[in-house]
Chains A and B, each alone.
Chain A
Amino acid sequence: GVTRLPLERGKKLREVLREKDLLQQFFQQHHYDIGAKFPHAFPNGTG
């Protein structure tokens, strides 16, 4: 009833893009806000 699944820690995408000299270009083309994923975060406006 208990099952383990090993995880691998890979290189961060931030590092991959930095090594390929693509990080700056990526940020210029893609604005992102990691909080934008959570529209229901405070449903009653109570933070």
Chain B
Amino acid sequence: VATEPLLNALDVEYYGTISIGTPPQDFSVVFDTGSSDLWVPSVSCPSLACQTHQMFDPSQSSTYKSTGLSLSIHYGTGEMEGTVGSDTVTVASLVDTNQLFGLSTAEPGQFFVHVQFDGILGLGYPNLAADGITPVFDNLVNQSLLQENLFSVYLSREAAGSMVIFGGIDESYFTGPINWIPVSYQGYWQISMDRDYFCSTGVTGAGSPPLCSLQHSVNCSSIPAMPDVIFVIDGVQYPVSALAYTEQVSGGSCMSSFQDTSGDLWILGDVFIRVYYSIFDRANNRVGLAKA
């Protein structure tokens, strides 16, 4: 039994469709750079979270093989338990044969009941994967299916138009130079940040700046006058405008999209990646950022 800590911040919202098995069974999955396993619900899962999502049926796949291994992934808001099987996984036009993946047999708690995706496909480094499981991306590389050992992500503000690009970089999604940053921990695609202007100093200069410490209501009409938050990474400034780090929520009010974390840690999630096209370069263990 291998355990992979994983936690979600309620704001997951970008997902794509993959298929597993022969004939293919389709699933919506979140592509998660903070984990390295693939799992989807299975028909052997009686949990409400499974019953309200697409479930993989091994008996309907001629290429499925069971392994007898079990898998347990713990979340801050719940957990999934399941078994490990092997089958053909199709990601866009890429056919990944004999891919080990998790089939959940229990998804306790409420979290997965309400999410719109079925499972998670991890794009982190192999050391985060459950013992003995080679991540999907590594298998694509090992099977020589990719032109380059990297993937890149463009996130749109719209419902459609976002893209994960496996094996390359699409110059139509960014302008200006790509700044490359060495990965400081090969697991979660961790990079070191020099500092964050504004959040570290605040607008008042006294105490913890409220805007960057929690999700806060802000006056929608004052957003154009609010300052950029500038992240400085490897000596390069990455400004994020107030328009990018705020959002209008139901009811017409506006909120800033920062959220508290433990320790000196920023998670540069959808807010940042919508502004900066992001390249995850496994060949050189570096992250590339360019103006989206």
Given contacts A7-B155, A30-B77, contact A20 B6 (CB under 8 A): no
User: Is A24 an interface residue, CB under 8 A from the partner?
Assistant: no
Least CB distance, B91 to chain A, in whole angstroms = 6
- Interface residues as binary, B79-117 with A (CB distance below 8 Å gives 1, 0 otherwise): 000000000000111100000000000000111001111
Partner of A19, one of B76, B78, B160, B250: B250
In the complex, A30→B10 CA distance in Å? 11
- Interface residues as binary, A20-43 with B (CB distance below 8 Å gives 1, 0 otherwise): 101000100111111111111111
Are A3 and B165 in contact, CB atoms less than 8 angstroms apart?
Answer: yes
Please give me the residue from chain B that is nearest to A27 by CB atom: B10
Least CB distance, A46 to chain B, in whole angstroms = 9
Tell me which residues across on chain B come within 8 A of A36, comparing CB atoms.
Answer: 5, 7, 76, 262
Please give me the residue from chain A that is nearest to B93 by CB atom: A3
In the complex, A35→B156 CA distance in Å? 25
Known pairs A5-B164, A36-B76, A37-B5 / 17 extra A-B pairs, C-beta < 8 Å: A5-B163, A7-B164, A9-B14, A10-B13, A10-B14, A12-B10, A13-B11, A14-B11, A15-B250, A16-B114, A22-B110, A30-B76, A34-B9, A34-B267, A36-B5, A38-B190, A41-B265
Given contacts A36-B262, A41-B188, A41-B263, contact A8 B159 (CB under 8 A): yes
Tell me which residues across on chain B come within 8 A of A35, comparing CB atoms.
Answer: 261-263, 265, 267
Least CB distance, B181 to chain A, in whole angstroms = 16
Are B34 and A38 in contact, CB atoms less than 8 angstroms apart?
Answer: yes
Given contacts A3-B167, A36-B262, A38-B190, contact A26 B14 (CB under 8 A): no
Partner of A3, one of B94, B111, B261: B94
Tell me which residues across on chain B come within 8 A of A3, comparing CB atoms.
Answer: 91-94, 145-146, 165-167
Tell me which residues across on chain B come within 8 A of A26, comparing CB atoms.
Answer: 110
Please give me the residue from chain B that is nearest to A14 by CB atom: B10
